[in-house]
Structure 1
Amino acid sequence: MWFLLLRQTLIRGGFDKMKGISEKTLIKIKDLKASVKLNNGDRLTTVTNANMELQRGRSYAIVGKSGSGKTSLISIIGLLNREYEGEYLYDGISISALKDRDLSILRANNIGFVFQNYSLIKHLRVWENIELPLLYAKKSFTAKQRHEIITGLLKSVGLESKENDYPINLSGGEQQRVAIARALAVSPEAILCDEPTGALDKKTGTQIMELLHSVVKENGIMLLLVTHDPDIADTCDTIFEMDGGRITCAKNDT
């Protein structure tokens, strides 16, 4: 309940939406291309003619060997990189039309990130790490509101007794649970994960994926992850295979 109440309080307006976009569709990319500049001045194509339609409440995996374009694609989808050609609509909003400041606001209030190395701040306690996104959200939260949100998040990831611990005192699985709680702090519409189980043993990785999928289904969040583990990819509704910057295959669970 706290999650839904938080979502209702966040300000998401102020952006012009394109008509004709399904309410279920959160992200749509069409003919997307991207490249990076090499040290010798040449450009290396990292993504070629990518087409995806990502819906709320569903989970997606991107698989492929190193250098296939997975990281480049997810960085664009996560609004971390806007150097691309083609069309990108986020909830009907044309990303190419946004100013950098508006792009940052959209990202901070709508997308949560979970990384392989957890990316927790070592000198901050668990509750302080989870609090960080709330301090930078577009909406201002009172100390009481932040406490209620953090308490709810800790309960949802099973870490109520760890709120005052530092990351160094937590296991890898516990640190990733904190990272998930932090990603959920502003009630995002999407969670993007880069190898979320890569640093974990098989059992712990399975538990983390069960937690992620539970949160996604319960709150209507879109989950997109990059993984080398076929077993992790198989837990998702749709699997995109990439090779040489191209999406070569899309497998659905239905």
Structure 2
Amino acid sequence: MAQVLLTDIAKRFKDKTIFEHIDLTVAKGRTIAVKGRSGSGKSTLLNIIAGLEKPTSGEYFLDGEDMSQLNLNRLSEIRKHKIGYISQHSPVIPKLTALENIMVPFWFEKKRENSKIIQKQVERLGRLFEIHHLLNDRVEKLSGGEIQRVGIIRALIKDPELIVADEPTGALDDETALKILACLDELKVNGVSVIIATHSGMVAEKCDERYQLTNQGLIKEVQ
């Protein structure tokens, strides 16, 4: 069964059509690149997939559940447990340590998860993204690439099944970007899917499938 299934998705604001006729099927453990010019609606499409916005029309199923028909509370629960969202400029709290910033998703949990499990997860991801030795440093002392990795780990800390990444390497040098892509690629072994919006041909080439977003739909690029 497809993990992500978009059928004839359209998004309009007043009398402006951002895009329409969007069809996309994503199987578990696949990396998908969505390319497109600035203003083509890449961020809007990712927000729909992440459950942050609803489409104007069309259907979106995540693991068989119709996301386009869910109320805000249910969408929030799904985002909390199934979806990891990564932005180009990861918001952080400068006076807190890297570890404290990573732990932000647990601040509003009524029921805390097992602290030993969380600790192991932080250690595993810290080593995977090569910042385990910086976890107790304040983020204001970290480089841009290190801060971006803090944001990525924060998005992954709850073991999401789907990662939605909006230009996650846009502000990084090529070497750091490739390291992050390699780390995300390792997550596919556990069936995690990754959907990335990007301007970078280098990033797109590392993905399993590549699409061009136009106002008339998604065009799949020939491999």
* Band the TM-score falls in, shorter-chain normalisation: over 0.9
Cα pair distance change 1:169/1:68, threshold 3 Å: same
Cα RMSD after superposing both structures: 1.7
What is the distance in 1 between the residues matched to 2:108 and 2:55? 25
Q: 2:213: which partner in 1?
A: 242
1: CA distance between counterparts of 2:60 and 2:75? Answer: 12
Partner of 1:10: none
Amino acid at match of 2:221: K
Structure 1 residue 31 corresponds to structure 2 residue 31: no
Aligned equivalent of 2:156, options 169, 184, 197 = 184
Q: How many Å apart are 1:96 and its aligned residue?
A: 2.7
Give the match's secondary structure for 2:3: strand
Secondary structure of the structure 2 residue equivalent to 1:176: helix
* 2:78 is the alignment partner of 1:106: yes
Q: Which position in structure 1 is the counterpart of 2:97?
A: 125
Counterpart residue number, 1:15: none
Task: Return the TM-score normalized by structure 1.
Answer: 0.82
Residue 200 (str. 1) matches residue 177 (str. 2): no
Looking at structure 1, the residues matched to 217 and 110 of structure 2 have their Cα atoms a distance apart, in angstroms, of 35
Higher RCO structure (Cα 8 Å, ≥6 apart): 2
Using the TM superposition, give the Cα deviation of residue 146 of structure 1 relative to its aligned residue in structure 2, in angstroms: 3.0
Q: Is the 8 A contact 1:134 1:146 kept in 2?
A: no
Q: CA–CA distance in 2 between the matches of 1:59 and 1:110?
A: 16
Alignment equivalent of 1:231, drawn from 190, 199, 202: 202
Q: Displacement of 1:53 after TM fit?
A: 0.6
Matches within 5 A, 1:94-173: 94-136=66-108, 140-173=112-145
- For the Cα contact (< 8 Å) 1:112–1:192, is it kept in 2? yes
TM-score after normalising by structure 2 = 0.93
1:85 matches 2:62: no
Q: What amino acid is aligned across from residue 36 of structure 1 in structure 2?
A: F
- State how many pairs are aligned: 223
**What is the aligned-residue identity percentage?**
34
Q: Do 2:10 and 2:55's aligned partners in 1 also have CA atoms closer than 8 Å?
A: no
